[in-house]
Amino acid sequence: MPATTEAGVFDESGLLAKARDGDAAAFSELVNRYSRKIYRLAKHITQNDTDAEDVLQETFMKSFEHLGDFQGQSKFYTWIVRIAVNESLMKLRKRKSDRTVPLDEPLDTGEDTVVREIAVWDENPEQQYSREEMAKILDEAVESLKPAFRTVFVLRDIEELSTEETAQTLGISVPAVKSRLLRARLQLRERLTRFFRRKGDDVFAYL
């Protein structure tokens, strides 16, 4: 169990400095702090447990190796997210020959932002489902998105990177991030509506 250091939870510069000097405990603490999020990110993008585990290990090994290059203008987390995204995209590209859709497929500009399901949601959909059920619904909805939309959504709305950080990380323009994010959000909204719609509004409920 890693001991939580006295060095404050919010200020990482101390931990980072120690890790740079080769302090194993300090770096292990950073790993413990972010491993769950990096694993989730890798799973969301690669959609494969083995690939996600590879990405997880590669991300922390590479970040340790290149810790000296990390300048500290961005947050440590943003920096390792970038490594994890690159590793995940490499995994996706390797699988390009199978059913995976390439990331650089041409995307039209919003013509198919179709909205079919328009229904009011329950006030607290979280209360209708157990934690596990909820996680499953949300994960499956993300998995249903095309990789190009999925990666943008995961970075912007799950990992909470800014539009600019997302664009930089993926090597795409800011307008491309925005248009993919819009479509990802609308498609997820559509899918989740099937689960979270207010039951009283279901026309069949009256039959």
Residues that bind another protein (CB under 8 A): 21-24, 27-28, 31, 35-37, 39-40, 53, 56-57, 60-61, 64-65, 110, 113, 115, 118-121, 125-126, 134-135, 138, 157-158, 160, 163, 178, 181-182, 185-186, 188-189, 192-193, 196
Residue 97 beta carbon to another protein: minimum distance, rounded to whole angstroms: 27
Q: Which is nearer to another protein, 37 or 95 (CB)?
A: 37
Residue 126 beta carbon to another protein: minimum distance, rounded to whole angstroms: 7
Comparing CA positions, the residue from 8, 7, 53, 56 lying closest to residue 32 is 56
The neighbouring-strand residues paired with 121 are 197
Q: Which is nearer to another protein, 61 or 101 (CB)?
A: 61
Residue 37 beta carbon to another protein: minimum distance, rounded to whole angstroms: 5
Residue 88 beta carbon to another protein: minimum distance, rounded to whole angstroms: 15
Q: Which is nearer to another protein, 23 or 202 (CB)?
A: 23
- In the chain, what's the furthest Cα-to-Cα distance? 70
Q: Which is nearer to another protein, 76 or 196 (CB)?
A: 196
Residue 204 beta carbon to another protein: minimum distance, rounded to whole angstroms: 19
Q: Which two tokens stand for residue 154?
A: 């995961």
Burial class of residue 87, CB neighbours in 10 A (0-12, 13-18, 19+): buried
Q: Return the exposure string of 159-177: e unless at least 16 CB atoms fall within 10 Å of the residue's CB, then b.
A: bebeeebbbbbbebeeebb
Residue 31 beta carbon to another protein: minimum distance, rounded to whole angstroms: 6
Q: E strand or H helix at 149, and its extent?
A: helix 147-153
Instruction: Please give the single-letter amino acid code of residue 11.
Output: D
Q: Which is nearer to another protein, 66 or 96 (CB)?
A: 66
Q: Which is nearer to another protein, 96 or 194 (CB)?
A: 194
| Sign of the torsion formed by the C-alpha atoms of 10, 15, 20 and 24 | negative
Q: Which two tokens stand for residue 13?
A: 């510069």
